[in-house]
Amino acid sequence: MTASRLWWFAAFFSLSATAQAQVTVRGERREIGQTTLAADEVRELPGAFGDAFRAVEVLPSVTPALSGFPYFFVRGAPPNNNGYFVDGVRVPLLFHVALGPSVIHPGLLERVDFYPGAPPARFGGVAGAVISGTTREPATEPRGEANLRLVDAGTLLEAPFADGTASALVAGRYGYPGPILSAISDVTLGYWDYQSRVAWRVGARDTLSVFAFGSHDLLAHEDPRTGRNVEDLVSDFHRVDLRYDRALDDGQIRLAATLGYDSQGADGTYLRDHSAAIRAHYEQQLGSAVRLRAGLDGSLDKYSVRHSEAIDPEVGGAPSNAEPPRTNLTAGASVDLILRPTRRVELVPGARVTVFDSAHARAAGDPSRVRDTVVAIDPRFSARTLLARGVAAVSSLGLAHQYPALRVGPLPAPVVTAPGFPDDGRKLQRVFQASQGLEVALPWELMVSGTGFLSRSSGLTDLTAPCEQIEPPMAEPGAGPRPEDPYYCPANSPVDGHAYGFELSIRRPLTESVSGLLSYTLSRSVRETHFLRLDGTTATETVPNDFDRTHLLNAVLAFDLGRNWRAGTRFVFYTGTPYSELVGNLPAPPYNSRRHPSFYRVDVRLEKRWRFGEGRSIAFVLEGQNVTLSKEANSLAMDCRGDMTPDGYTTQCEYGEVGPITLPSIGVEAFF
């Protein structure tokens, strides 16, 4: 997608999203190193549009690739290494078409848990952060939500039946921005999602449930030469999860099976995944000071790639190292203990063993198979020590492994990815994560925490690294690069790296009459990077990551103005990313020695609510992200042009600015 097309899309889509969640959160033990965002609190966060998934952006070390885009680098890990879960079901994405709302109705969520590093042992195959959403318990009384916005509408309905022993829920969102957007640009946009759940209490302690959910996204533009729509991104996923829960005297058992279908792609290349997964979790208090948690999980993913003739003649070949497509079988076992040797100390030792097995045909039409199997052991340990009243030291460390990420798809369209081993190696992505922090509870319900962290990665595949089409060394004048010419893709070459820094968080519940949040991160992310030289050879240098930001600040302040009026504002600031000087379209040494200018933006939110008895209300919400209309200098914004010279055809590229990406929202919502 070009920068101008991205701007049109962002400018129009900015008419969406209002808050929708009011949830009562039951008290639970908080995992060491976990940050929890309750849905009712997130409602009040300016710029999050009431979405608990999107609200993770305000937390320390969560660095967006671009302002407004919910694709995050966390403690040096790229977005493709983050794991997304809903009730333990892994999903490929959380948001519609980059800037859009989440694919799960906010009213269905009870909370979102965020683990920036060393998550509990039950989470496997994730070498980055874990973002895990937990849905609400089935309702015992009828409830509903509805909202109407300029570009989409959403609703949620839930009601008990069978004398209160069962509950049914349906929810969804439908976006209709296409006709209006097409009238002012050449961009076509559409999206929808759905969720449905039926739960039965089949005994005093037993519950059986079926949860189905999915989403669809389409982003396209009209090719002026052919008049046909070129698909810039098409994404669909569907999940059906069958779950059995049994409550024990002081514990629980969960057994679940999931079927899934994913399809993602762009003009010319589409990747599909038919999947099946199982998981079992057992938790039991063994004594006053010991709690056991154990689990088994497995998944089978069968990928297929479909190529079609590209509508856009400028679309090049596929920089793919994922063909023939893979079939992945992954199995894991995890166990940890929650130990409380004294009232002041909590220790959580744990471990996970995962088998990564990937197979594919030796070549197209060849019945023989290539199969690679790797066993990974991931130890985990965390501790919380009460040093004084309201003061606790928090420690965590762990090792995590993940499949390499393999590219599929043409350029310059967005790249689709599939996990699996490349043909020339069996090395997993591996990261060691450690952190040490201090938490202090202060008067006025203030919670202050400071954390130092370190992560070291090996075999990292970062799909944000760009691909370059290699021009023929002896190109005839005017020939230029051809679609069949090879691509150089640094992300196809695994690298090593490390990240370290300090995180500060000051937080007061956003449901209070005067509330706020401040998060600050001082960090450095460094890794090996492959650069293409002018002579066609490559150079490997250890430099700051392309999305490294030294300083990252979020400050939120919200007020209850009385008479059911509430207002809030959010200030976002971060320093610029590194970049290299360009010679033509290639970076020149010293690599990543310069920095783009810093960026800031201001978000605002204003709400007026009318209440009609307990649990019933109508609200008007006015919200805006980046009301300052700030533009961001970023290496993603690159303008290239081709020129004729006496020596032949040359390409010259320059960095530019993106935006302003601003997201105003006007909407009405109802709870009943």
Higher pLDDT, 73 or 479: 73
Most confident of 181-195, 432-446, 581-595, 645-659: 432-446
- Write the CATH number for 290: 2.40.170.20
Express each pLDDT in 320-340 by its tens digit: 677 889 999 999 999 999 999
Give the 3-state secondary structure of residue 8.
Answer: helix
Q: How confident is the model at residue 567 (pLDDT cuts 50, 70, 90)?
A: very high
Listed as own residue / partner, the contacts of 151-157 with beta carbons closer than 8 Å and 24 or more positions apart are 151/12, 151/13, 151/15, 151/16, 151/175, 151/176, 151/177, 151/180, 152/16, 152/101, 152/176, 152/177, 152/191, 154/20, 154/105, 156/20, 156/105, 156/107, 156/108
Kindly report, residue by residue over 616-637, the tens digit of the pLDDT. Answer: 999 999 988 899 999 998 877 7
Pairwise CA distance, residues 26 & 33, whole Å: 19
What would the pLDDT profile of 6-48 be if each residue is shown by its tens digit? Answer: 333 333 333 333 333 333 334 456 778 788 888 777 777 888 7
Do 424 and 435 touch, CB atoms closer than 8 A?
Answer: no
Cβ-contact 297, 278 below 8 angstroms? yes
Euclidean distance between CA atoms 461 and 81, whole angstroms = 9
Is the pLDDT at 508 greater than 70, yes or no?
A: yes
| Per-residue model confidence (pLDDT) at position 4 | 37
Do residues 60 and 74 lie in contact, with contact meaning Cβ atoms separated by under 8 Å?
no
Cβ atoms 9, 189 nearer than 8 A: yes
For 240-270, write each residue's pLDDT tens digit. Answer: 999 999 999 999 999 999 999 999 988 878 8
Span 458-482, pLDDT tens digits = 998 887 776 665 554 434 444 444 4
Between 179-193, 349-363, 459-473, 532-546, the lowest mean confidence (pLDDT) is in 459-473
pLDDT of 646 above 70: no
DSSP count for the chain of H helices, then E strands = 3, 40
Q: Distance (Å, rounded) from C-alpha 287 to C-alpha 67?
A: 49
Tell me if residue 81 falls in helix, strand or coil: helix
| CA dist., res. 215 & res. 267, Å (int) | 20
Beta-bridge mates of residue 546: none
Which range among 48-62, 157-171, 434-448 shows the weakest confidence by mean pLDDT?
Answer: 48-62
Give the span between the Cα atoms of 231 and 265, in whole angstroms.
Answer: 8
Lowest mean per-residue pLDDT among 128-142, 215-229, 295-309, 393-407: 215-229
The answer to whether residues 501 and 75 touch, using CB atoms and an 8 Å cutoff, is: yes
Which pair of structure tokens corresponds to residue 174? 């439908």
Query: Residue 93's pLDDT is what?
Result: 86
**pLDDT score at 33:** 75
Quote the domain boundaries for residue 452: 3-671
pLDDT attached to residue 502: 97
Per residue in 131-143, pLDDT (tens digit) is: 999 999 999 999 9
Total number of domains in the chain: 1
What's the pLDDT band for 602 if we cut at 50, 70, 90?
very high
Average pLDDT along the chain: 84
State residue 94 phi and psi, 5-degree precision.
-115, -15
What's the Cα-to-Cα distance from 418 to each of 51, 326, 481, rounded to whole Å? Answer: 28, 8, 27
C-beta neighbour count of 21 within 10 angstroms: 24
Average pLDDT over residues 193-201: 97
| Segment 434-442 mean pLDDT | 95
β-strand pairing of 130-135 with 62-64 = unpaired
With contact defined as beta carbons under 8 Å apart, do 461 and 417 qualify?
Answer: no
46-50, 150-154, 375-379: least confidently modelled range: 46-50
pLDDT of residue 15: 31
